[in-house]
Structure 1
Amino acid sequence: MPSFRFLPAALLALSLAFPSLATAAEQLTITLKTGDVVIELADDVAPNHAARLKALADAGEYDNVAFHRVIEGFMAQTGDVQFGDMEDGFAPRRAGMGGSSQPDLAAEFSDKPFVRGTVGMARSQNPNSANSQFFIMFADGDFLNGQYTVVGTVVEGMEHVDQIKRGNPNTNGAVTDPDRMIKVRSGG
């Protein structure tokens, strides 16, 4: 009969050698009308931004929030909990201008590239103005590298992101009758 008394020590050694194996990264699951999108949060490179998204999801603040700006070949933006909630105070002309009741976050720039499926934090011209809004890349966008905080990566359901209703290219991607995040929950 094999001995398992050294198994805990072996697991400890593996977790020290490969820290990513020791704890699973936090995830967000966004339910869209076509299915679920799973995002692995980059809490190793953007811990404050990842914690903010998780907290807002846990509080139910992202539920029913519109994809207010969607640009073909670029990205889909959402997360305006102040003006983007399509069931409570939706203000289409103001969606994209709001945030949450929490203070803005200092930038957590990294060397992670903006590629298809990357989730980045939206912000104003001020690099330290990200709050609740985020975007999911439809395609690579190296011009964003080092300029915006990478907060995660889509690991499942990119086909559902691809089906989000596109906005008008003449109005910077503003969407009439936009799709929404039906429900957002954390876990993982």
Structure 2
Amino acid sequence: MRLKFSQFLIAFLMISTLMLGGCSTGQVASTSSPTSVATSPASETSTNQTTEATSVSETTNESVPGMTDLPRLEGKATVVITVKGSPITVEVDGTNAPITAGNFVDLVQKGVYDGLAFHRVVRDPQPFVVQGGDPQSKDPKFPVARLGTGSYTDPKTGRERYIPLEIKPKGAATPEYNKPFDATARPVELAHKLGAVAMARSQQPDSASSQFYFALADLPFLDGSYAVFGNVTQGFDVVNKIQQGDRIDSAKVTQGAENLKTPGQ
């Protein structure tokens, strides 16, 4: 369906802000910028960075460069995120986004999200996203203007973890990696529908780490550029009440934990 000019303009401005937010740490939009779904850029030395899209017939970690050390979800899982005492139930889809879903479930299992704040909430000029998951937000004294630049650091290695952009075209046997594509020509299996849960990233495709967002409306202009990995099945009314600065009480895997496969298993 064609967008009206006003809708197209808003979409263009949102995408422009996304790209600006990812150019460099100094250019990341502050939390006062209403339309950024971007995190800090990935390290230039990250082993997850590749320059060409990869389509594989078998999406094993060994099939795609840079993924041998990443967890994966083989199937689905249920995660309950509690905010201000109220639960949000998320179905995490490892069937269509095994690496993105595996990364999220692994971080939930590690307790990474407990106590983190939602640093960006955008409802005007139209519903957009609620974004959180920056590990820096656990420190209440961390400057609000700098939230949105943090990534998960593995305490065992001291290294930041980044995951490849992972999007599965509709009808495809496996996801494609490392490069955005035009979803108007090639629709995706996991679309930015109302209640979708996806990973935030910078301009670098393979720079997602721990930050995620809830889609507050259908956002088709993000399809093909950002990786959706699940959707809210219950508690979207709780999502709609989240304000900037609200914190995650806890995030727990309630079903499907056995589907998480970590390196070495």
Report if TM-score (shorter chain) is over 0.5: yes
Structure possessing the higher radius of gyration over alpha carbons: 1
Q: Which runs of 5+ in 2 are unaligned?
A: 1-73, 154-159, 169-187, 256-265
Counterpart Cα distance in 2 of 1:38 and 1:184 = 10
Identity %: 34
Q: Which amino acid aligns with 2:114?
A: D
- Correspondence 1:1-20 to 2 at 5 A: none
Candidates 238, 241, 246, aligned match of 1:160: 238
1:40 is aligned to 91
- Whether the aligned pair in 2 keeps the contact of 1:45 and 1:108 (CA below 8 Å) is no
SS class of match (1:182): strand
2:104 is aligned to 53
Counterpart Cα distance in 1 of 2:192 and 2:75 = 22
Counterpart Cα distance in 2 of 1:32 and 1:109 = 28
Structure 2 residue 166 is the aligned partner of structure 1 residue 108: yes
Identify if the C-alpha distance between structure 1 residues 86 and 28 changes in structure 2 by more than 3 Å, giving closer, same or farther.
farther
Identify if the C-alpha distance between structure 1 residues 24 and 131 changes in structure 2 by more than 3 Å, giving closer, same or farther.
closer
Counterpart Cα distance in 2 of 1:142 and 1:160 = 23
Counterpart Cα distance in 2 of 1:24 and 1:126 = 28
1:127 is aligned to 205
Counterpart Cα distance in 2 of 1:43 and 1:164 = 26
- Whether the aligned pair in 1 keeps the contact of 2:75 and 2:93 (CA below 8 Å) is no
Counterpart Cα distance in 1 of 2:201 and 2:250 = 23
1:6 is aligned to none
How many corresponding residue pairs?
153
Q: Which amino acid aligns with 1:179?
A: D
Counterpart Cα distance in 1 of 2:78 and 2:102 = 11
Identify if the C-alpha distance between structure 1 residues 108 and 26 changes in structure 2 by more than 3 Å, giving closer, same or farther.
same
1:179 is aligned to 246
- Correspondence 1:86-105 to 2 at 5 A: 86=139, 90-101=142-153, 102-105=160-163
Shift of 1:164: 0.5
1:4 is aligned to none
2:128 is aligned to 74
SS class of match (1:53): helix
1:125-178 Cα offsets, whole Å, 9 max, x none, are: 11111100000011110000111101110011001000011xxxxxxxxx4xx1
Shift of 1:34: 5.0
SS class of match (1:126): coil
- Whether the aligned pair in 2 keeps the contact of 1:107 and 1:149 (CA below 8 Å) is yes
Give the 4+ runs in structure 1 shifted more than 3 A. none
SS class of match (2:145): coil
Q: Considering only aligned residues, what root-mean-square deviation do their CA atoms show, in Å? A: 1.6
TM-score between both structures, scaled by the size of structure 2: 0.55
Q: Which runs of 5+ in 1 are unaligned?
A: 1-22, 166-174
TM-score between both structures, scaled by the size of structure 1: 0.77
- Whether the aligned pair in 1 keeps the contact of 2:78 and 2:253 (CA below 8 Å) is yes
